[in-house]
């Protein structure tokens, strides 16, 4: 079985969805090949955005009061905790995720894409790292098993840019507008950070 997962590194629901997928896989008896696909919620974002609080940024994006935006942040933080994740969105430094997606593709080439994705997501959601900053990526990506020299080479060139764009083109062809999005064997789809039970049921149905 093959499951393709479109996700953005700066999407909190994608990190929650990743954890729930891992829980589902632990309950599924068949081998599953997971392929992480790139998706950018804001491809026009600066590498590191101006220092504006996340509640304020969310309020501006959805044109809602800051208090309501903070409630949304508190809700997703609590849901993440239920899945064993520690979010500190008050200090998350938002920015462009394109380079981070390229580094994940490098990880795929070496068979460590899940570890790279996990490291970068944890850096963003839990540690307040600016994952749009190439110096930050060059420092943290080797912790997931990549060669420091190769990471720097990727970041200094356009390696894997075509691969990231191909993922995004495929998402457009499939009509994907939100992430996470799970495609099982190219014939059964699950959208959103669904509970592990839903993912297990989908995998069993596909099998």
Distance (Å, rounded) from C-alpha 90 to C-alpha 12? 13
Q: How far are the Cα atoms of 48, 71, 122, 164, 204 from residue 9, in angstroms, in the given order?
A: 14, 22, 9, 13, 28
Give the model's pLDDT for residue 192.
98
Copy the structure tokens of residue 39.
């998706």
Distance (Å, rounded) from C-alpha 145 to C-alpha 171? 28
Average pLDDT over residues 1-7: 98
Distance (Å, rounded) from C-alpha 46 to C-alpha 93? 11
Give the model's pLDDT for residue 94.
86
Is 189:182 a contact under the CB 8 Å cutoff?
A: yes
Model confidence band, residue 56 (pLDDT cutoffs 50, 70, 90): confident
pTM score: 0.94
Is 93:54 a contact under the CB 8 Å cutoff?
A: no
**Least confident piece of the model among 13-22, 48-57, 69-78, 131-140:** 48-57
* Residue % of the chain over a pLDDT of 70: 99
Give the model's pLDDT for residue 122.
98
Distance (Å, rounded) from C-alpha 169 to C-alpha 162? 10
For 137-159, write each residue's pLDDT tens digit. Answer: 999 999 999 999 999 999 999 99
Strand ranges across the sheet with 2-7? 33-38, 2-7, 181-184, 188-191
Model confidence band, residue 102 (pLDDT cutoffs 50, 70, 90): very high
Copy the structure tokens of residue 203.
């995998």
For 88-100, write each residue's pLDDT tens digit. Answer: 998 888 899 999 9
Give the model's pLDDT for residue 51.
65
All structural domains of the chain, each given as residue ranges with its CATH number in brackets, are 2-206 (3.40.30.10)
- Give the Cα-Cα-Cα angle 196, 194, 162 (nearest 5 degrees): 105
Cβ neighbours around 56 below 10 Å, total: 12
Model confidence band, residue 54 (pLDDT cutoffs 50, 70, 90): confident
Give the model's pLDDT for residue 134.
97
- Nearest to 125, CA basis, from 98, 86, 84: 86
């Amino acid at each position: 079985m093959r499951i393709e997962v479109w996700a953005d590194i700066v999407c909190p629901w994608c990190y929650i969805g990743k954890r729930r997928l891992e829980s589902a896989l632990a309950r599924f008896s068949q081998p599953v090949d997971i392929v992480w696909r790139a998706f950018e919620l804001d491809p026009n974002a600066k590498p590191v955005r101006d220092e504006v609080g996340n509640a304020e940024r969310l309020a501006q994006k959805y044109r809602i009061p800051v208090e309501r935006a903070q409630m949304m942040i508190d809700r997703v933080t609590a849901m993440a905790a239920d899945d064993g994740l520690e979010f500190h969105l008050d200090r998350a430094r938002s920015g462009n995720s394109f380079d981070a997606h390229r580094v994940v593709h490098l990880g795929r080439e070496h068979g460590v894409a899940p570890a790279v994705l996990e490291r970068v997501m944890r850096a963003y959601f839990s540690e307040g790292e600016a994952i749009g900053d190439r110096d930050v990526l060059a420092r943290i990506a080797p912790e997931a098993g990549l060669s420091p020299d190769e990471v720097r080479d990727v970041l200094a060139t356009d390696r894997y840019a075509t691969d990231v764009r191909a993922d995004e083109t495929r998402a457009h062809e499939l009509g994907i507008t939100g992430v996470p999005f799970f495609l099982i064997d190219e014939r059964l789809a699950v959208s959103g950070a669904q509970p592990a039970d839903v993912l297990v049921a989908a995998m069993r149905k596909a099998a």
